[in-house]
Amino acid sequence: MFDAPIDRIWKYLNDQRPGVHNHSSIASMKLVEQKGNAAVQEYEFRNPDGKTTRKETWRTTFNPPTGFEMESISGVSKGTKYSHRYTPAGNRTRVEVAGDFKMQGMDDVATKQAALGFLAEVFDEDNATLRNYK
């Protein structure tokens, strides 16, 4: 549950100012293409060892106010598709994530653990930012 109303979440998601979206697992991000409500971005992710990185390309399709969908189109997680669904709850917002996660070279258990760890980390970082975001 995000500690912010849904309108603040969408304002934050659409904020492209440098430094607004800081995530410890993302070393860099570059917008490749923007068409309508979809964006293709190249990411450089930090690996769990904290020393090495990997590059991946993702397509994000925004569906305000209900959520957004992500699809990995290149890199070790190619084929991953998942969605975020938002439900307003007063001054808070419930978020549900569902999808099919892929990680080349990892079995299903390790892939699930990696996906849940990444999503939890990003959620915690976003929630902390949203508490003070105007």
pLDDT for 64-90, tens place per residue?
A: 999 999 999 999 999 999 999 999 999
9-19: b (≥16 Cβ within 10 Å) or e: bbebbeeeeee
Single out the residue of 99, 116, 39 nearest to residue 29, CA to CA.
39
pLDDT for 11-65, tens place per residue?
A: 999 998 888 988 999 999 999 999 999 999 999 999 878 889 999 999 999 999 9
Single out the residue of 43, 33, 36 nearest to residue 64, CA to CA.
36
How many whole angstroms separate alpha carbon 14 and alpha carbon 10?
6
- Judge whether 65 and 84 are in contact, CB under 8 Å: no
Give the pLDDT confidence score for residue 27 in this predicted structure. Answer: 92
| Residue where the block lists tokens 């990444």 | 118
Give the pLDDT confidence score for residue 19 in this predicted structure. Answer: 83
Q: Is 80 exposed, middle or buried (0-12, 13-18, 19+ CB in 10 A)?
A: buried
Structure tokens of 134?
A: 């105007």
The domains of the chain, with CATH numbers, are 6-132 (3.30.530.20)
